[in-house]
Each structure stands twice: as C-alpha cells, then as structure tokens.
Amino acid sequence: MSNNISDKIKNIHRIFHPQSIAVLGANKVKGTVPADILVNILKAEFKGVVYPVNPKENHISSIKTYKYVIDIEDPVDLAVIVYPSSVMHMALEQCGQKGIKGAIIISAGFKEVGGQGIEREEQIKEIAKKYGISFIGPNCLGVINTDPSVKLDASFARKMPEEGNIAFISQSGALCTAVLDYAQAKHIGFSKFVSIGNKADISEIDLLYYLKDDPKTKVILLYLEEISEGHGLMKAARTVIEQTGKPILAIKSGRTSAGASAAASHTGSLAGSDEICDAAFKQAGIIRCDDIEEMFNKAIAFTYQPLPKSNRIAIVTNAGGPGVLTTDAAIKYGLELPKFNPETTSILKKSLPKTANINNPVDVIGDARADRYSVAVSSILKDANVDGVFVILTPQSMTEIENIATEISHLASQFDKPIYTSFMGEADVAAGIDILQRNKIPHYILPESMPISFATTYKFKKMLEDIREPADTFDDVKKEAAHLILNNAINEGKKYLPEEEAAKVLEAYNFPMLKSGLAKSEKEAIELSELLGYSVVMKIMSDDIVHKFDVGGVILDIKSKDQAALSYKKIIENVNRHKPDANIKGVFVRRMIPPGEEVILGLKRDLTFGPIIMFGLGGIFVEIYKDVSFRIAPLDKKSVDNLITETKASAILSGVRGRIPRDINSIKECIMRLSQLAVDCPQIKELDINPLIVLEDGSGSFVADTKIML
C-alpha cells in the first residue's frame, strides 16, 4: 500500500497511462493467461514499450525477453504480473527494487482460496507498502484504457472495447468479459475498464477518487460483491457526484441474503444488509441497479444525452399500443406528458394525416415514413413545453427504418434535449438500431424502459440541485450522563437496558418524554399534576397489586386540581377497601398520552456502514407492514426529509383524506437527536422508540416506549 492517497492516485495514473510495461511471467503457450496478456497488449497497439519477463525465454512474439524485471535497462511504469501466487512475493520485490510504482497482479491463489493464500496476500501487501507500490488485484482480469494516446489492454479479455465515456469497475472478472461482449454488440464504449479482483490494495474507493478527475469518464459503473469500507465508499461517491456531477451506477450482488432475522429489536429485524446497502447508496447518490441490462439502459441515457431540464416528455409513435404502454410507464415513473404549444399543434395538424393523433402522445400512424417522424420530432423538440422525446417505431411494410434512424440521429445532434428511441422487433429493425447506437442515441428493446431511464436521469439532476446541509446537532444533550448509564449497564454484563434506564438515556438527549412522578400524599399528587399539565392519569403503585384496574387503582383523564385531589383520595380508598394488606408505595402520576399517529424510530449498528437510523409506521404491526426507511448516521437534512417521505406513513402524517396533519417537524427533531445519540454512544447496538406518538401539527410528539440493546 502506498503511503498516502495522493501517491496512490499518482500510481493509479501510472497504471492507466504507462509509457512502458513489463509483463512478468509472460510465456509462449498460446491460450494461457501469461501468453494472452502479452498478446492483448500488442494487439491493442499500446503506445509505449513492452518488456516480457521470463527466466527461460530469449524472446516472446519476437520481442526481446528479460530473465528478471531488474535486468531491464530502461525505466518501467507498470508491471503486469502473471506469475503463480507462490512466487508473487519475489516478483513484486524485484518490481520494488526496479522502482516500479504501479502493478496489476492478475494471478489467483490469494485470499480467495483461504489458508496460505491469505498469508500470500498479506505478504504482497507488505512488499507493496515497503516500496510504495500501488497494485490492482490480485485475482483479476486486468485493466483497459481506451484512450487513443495510450491504448492499453492489460487484460485477458477477448477484445478491446470501443472508446467511450463510461468507466466500469468490477469485482468479478468473469462478469467483465460478459459485459464487454454485451457492450460490443450495442456499440457501447468505455473510458476505463478495471477488474479489481481481491482489491488487496487499490479498491473501488481509490478508483472513484481517480475517475473523479479523469476527463475521459462521464459515467462510472460499479459491480460489487462485498463492500469493505461503507463510509469510505459513500464519502468517495458523494465527492465525485457533488464535485463533478458524474453519475455512479452500481450493482451490489447478494440482494437475497438473509437479514438479521434473530435480532432482538424491530429495527434489528427489519434492517437486513440489503436494506442498509440500499439506504447507503441512496444517501450517497449512487444509483443502484438490479442487473447489467438496467445498468447499461441507464448508463447510455446519462452518457449519450443531456440531462433533462424537467420531467415533461412527449411520445412520438407509429403504433397506438406501444404508445399507451409507454404513457402508462411515464406516468408511473413520475413523468408528465404536457400539452403542446399552439404553434406545435398547428404544424402537426398541417403535416400529419387527419387520422393521426396530434396531441401528446403523438401517433404518426402505421404508414408513416421518415418525413412524418422528422416533422413531428423536430417541431416537438422546438416546443418549450417539452424537455424530452421518446420515439417509438414498429416495422410496417412501408416504414423507412434506416432513414428514420438517420433522421432522429440528425435531429438529436441539433437540440439540447434528450431523445430516446425504441425500434420494436428484432430482425427487421436491426439495421435501424445499429444506426441509432453508432450515433449514440439511447435505444431500448422495450419502450417502457425509456421512461424508467429518463426518470432516473431527471431524479439525478434534481439531486444535484439539492443543497446538502448537515442535520442539526443539539447543545442541550447530556452525553456524559448517557455514557454513565450505558457503561454501568455494560459493566454489569447487561445485554439490554431496563425500561426506566432506557428512558433516562433518551431524557439525556432531550427526547420528548411523557413526564411522570410518584406522589405519596394528596398534596404531592396535586403538585405533580399541576407540574405535568392536564390531563393526567393516576395509578396505584404497589408490588402487591398486579391488576390495578380491578381494585379501582387507576383513574384516567384527570383535568383539574380538584379532580386531582379527589382522584388521589379515591384511589387510596379503593385500594384500602379491596386490598387492605397491600403495601402502597404511592400513586404514580403521568401525563395522559393524547391521541396521535404512532411511528417508530430505530437505530442499528452495522459492521460495514456504522449506525443505521430507521423511520416508519409504528405500533405492534411494524414487522408486518414493513413501512420503514433507512439512512446512515450522521444524517444530513435532506436524508432526514427522505427518511420520512419514502414511507407510506408520510401521507398519513401529512393529513391524507381528512386526517389531522401531524407534527412532522417534531419527528425530524427526534430523528436528528437519534442521529446524534447514534454517533455519540457506540455502546448502543440496537434501539427502538416504538411508538413515538405524533400529535397534531405544532403540538409535538412523545416517546411512549423505548428499548435499548447493548
């Protein structure tokens, strides 16, 4: 590992832009990795010098071959190492002696095989650290840089991809080759292509920082199997997005892994690793995709076309059915189909047949040739009400598929508004699709994919406009008091806090608690009631009485001083009559919980991402409705808003269908206090506030019950 991040970034630049490469362990056995790596470097027409290194060959592919890398007279920027893992330490040691700072370790046989492999990986990390070498791998496919001034294919992939603006970082080497094949068929080009393998040194986080300033990269794609530094990844992603506006799309495999089903709290049970990953990606602005097709559908929208100014789109189709399907999908994903300006409508009316639909979605009718598409698309693109166009084509006998594709490509280059296409079918439309793809017009097999991709780009654009402010922190909290309670409990070997102690922790963080007290006389009962504020409830406190209601030991809704005095007397009388032997500790006085909506706030500590905050619909059915959302603490204000708005509870709290609007600001304050508590008190493993009773707008909320696990 190199000493600091700037050295590492410099070394990564050397890996992508070497002037000379040594291939350590290259050989002549065609069809093997050590041979194909060298062949690929040569085939790609690398713009620098290549030095094969092999102890028993004089030359490989007619190139002079060196016994050891230290025998090479000239400086070497990049070492590509294909020696078996058993001698990797010797190879890397010599790279260090040679002064090489960047390496790609292709070979397998390290951490992924366990046992001795783990030791070998640690050994090469130590050597790299000693010499300030940064390396990709081990156990990887290699690295590709399509930049024409470099032309580096240091991989054993079958082919070099086309030049483009997409950087692809993958933890799976095999997936890389499949992606290259997929992309080649669709003329999708790449700027950088990296298989990170075991990411023993250079990780996706380092590469994100590097790609942030890479002028050739507009969009970054990630395929991750495991995330080792959650916070680091989130910070790097946010830095890239905020500083450059480059979108990051990611597939994180393992969606179906079992959550923490044996957890003791609702939060623990609901916050599985996938939900946490989802929340972290959202918070960082990473667009999570389920599969390769979805990822590239969205990536081409970002890389080929400008970001939309609004969500107002128009559809131009020569077939009614697909037009309706696309309209439905557009509405579903939050897009609008606006009315056209009168000028646009007038042009469409004059240019299209009477049977055509000149309103949005526009139907140019099945027999449309290129001229109808051209006039419809161009006039709509000029319309200020529209900020994007979806063009749908189905192949009829007279449809000029290639001409229409050419015309759309031409129009796309003239307007700063996104155009997406869907030429439906396969064989007949293939030549048209090829024209679109070569001209970098996003094309989708299914027309419904257009609104999905458009909505993603629009949402991303909106997110870029969001101002990220840190959530409020509160000076009125008593961190030391909370620590004292938590540490004492841990020292006593407790796994969870008793209810009254959990309440004290929340009190220390100034959560709105339902205040209460014990009155031992009528006078104290009156004073307490006055202090707490009416209405209050009074309950007998005695270890000898289990069913308080049965002995007349509970009086609800006490609304005045006189009622308080009377109620105290009545409870004592009732108990003395029904249970004369009971040892009475006093009368418990608590403010009545006013009616309100029940929500849940939760906290869970995750090994990868740290403290997770949960919000959702509360009560006893939390795990049945699962109407919850998650974010990672410390929160920013936007995340606090999103925590609430992402749930269905949000509509209920806002006062949907005549319900009373609730005090959402008081929930936000509780969430921010919880975020502060989560960061301040790592002793808390899990926490539920369930329910938090939310009163009507302006009246606050109250913690009704708390559970804290240590």
**Which C-beta is closer to other proteins: that of 34 or that of 142?**
34
Stretch binding other proteins (CB under 8 A), from 86-94, 121-129, 302-310, 613-621: 86-94
Query: Per rule CB under 8 A, is residue 86 in the interface with other proteins?
Result: yes
Rounded to a whole number of angstroms, the minimum distance from the CB of residue 69 to other proteins is: 11
Rounded to a whole number of angstroms, the minimum distance from the CB of residue 81 to other proteins is: 11
C-alpha 623/C-alpha 274 separation (Å) is: 16
**Which C-beta is closer to other proteins: that of 32 or that of 583?**
32
Q: 187's torsion region: left (phi>0), alpha (psi -120 to 50) or beta?
A: left
Query: Per rule CB under 8 A, is residue 83 in the interface with other proteins?
Result: yes
**Which C-beta is closer to other proteins: that of 68 or that of 415?**
68
Neighbours of 701 (CB within 10 A): 26
Rounded to a whole number of angstroms, the minimum distance from the CB of residue 24 to other proteins is: 9
Whether 60 contacts 41, CB under 8 Å: no
Which DSSP string corresponds to 537-564? Answer: EEEEE-TT-S-TGGGT-EEEEE-SHHHH
**Which C-beta is closer to other proteins: that of 84 or that of 245?**
84
Rounded to a whole number of angstroms, the minimum distance from the CB of residue 121 to other proteins is: 17
Site for other proteins in 27-66 (CB under 8 A): 27, 29, 54-57
**Which C-beta is closer to other proteins: that of 109 or that of 619?**
109
Among residues 5, 90, 331, 531, the one that binds other proteins under rule CB under 8 A? 90
Query: Per rule CB under 8 A, is residue 293 in the interface with other proteins?
Result: no
Stretch binding other proteins (CB under 8 A), from 84-92, 253-261, 427-435, 461-469: 84-92
C-alpha 164/C-alpha 186 separation (Å) is: 12
C-alpha 450/C-alpha 401 separation (Å) is: 19
Stretch binding other proteins (CB under 8 A), from 38-46, 85-93, 189-197, 587-595: 85-93
**Which C-beta is closer to other proteins: that of 60 or that of 391?**
60
C-alpha 37/C-alpha 34 separation (Å) is: 6
Rounded to a whole number of angstroms, the minimum distance from the CB of residue 115 to other proteins is: 12
Q: How many residues does the chain have?
A: 710
Size of the site for other proteins (CB under 8 A): 12
C-alpha 624/C-alpha 516 separation (Å) is: 32
C-alpha 616/C-alpha 627 separation (Å) is: 5
Stretch binding other proteins (CB under 8 A), from 13-21, 82-90, 120-128, 155-163: 82-90
Core vs surface per residue 658-689: b (16+ CB within 10 A) or e: eeeebbbebbbbbbbbbbbbbebbebbbbbbb
Stretch binding other proteins (CB under 8 A), from 79-87, 326-334, 464-472, 600-608: 79-87
**Which C-beta is closer to other proteins: that of 90 or that of 651?**
90
Exposure of 178 in the CB half-sphere (CA atoms within 13 A): 10
Rounded to a whole number of angstroms, the minimum distance from the CB of residue 105 to other proteins is: 15
Whether 612 contacts 595, CB under 8 Å: no
Among residues 22, 33, 37, 91, the one that binds other proteins under rule CB under 8 A? 91
Whether 178 contacts 190, CB under 8 Å: no
Whether 108 contacts 142, CB under 8 Å: no
**Which C-beta is closer to other proteins: that of 22 or that of 681?**
22
SS3 call for 625: helix
Rounded to a whole number of angstroms, the minimum distance from the CB of residue 110 to other proteins is: 16
**Which C-beta is closer to other proteins: that of 30 or that of 56?**
56
Rounded to a whole number of angstroms, the minimum distance from the CB of residue 116 to other proteins is: 9
Whether 317 contacts 361, CB under 8 Å: yes
**Which C-beta is closer to other proteins: that of 29 or that of 467?**
29
Stretch binding other proteins (CB under 8 A), from 42-50, 81-89, 499-507, 674-682: 81-89
> How far is the CA of 309 from the CAs of 192, 244, 386, 418, in angstroms?
29, 18, 9, 9
Instruction: Identify any residues that bridge with 168 across adjacent strands, giving them in sequence order.
Output: 193, 221
Rounded to a whole number of angstroms, the minimum distance from the CB of residue 54 to other proteins is: 6
C-alpha 260/C-alpha 604 separation (Å) is: 11
Query: Per rule CB under 8 A, is residue 84 in the interface with other proteins?
Result: yes
**Which C-beta is closer to other proteins: that of 110 or that of 390?**
110
Rule CB under 8 A: which residues touch other proteins? 27, 29, 54-57, 83-84, 86-87, 90-91
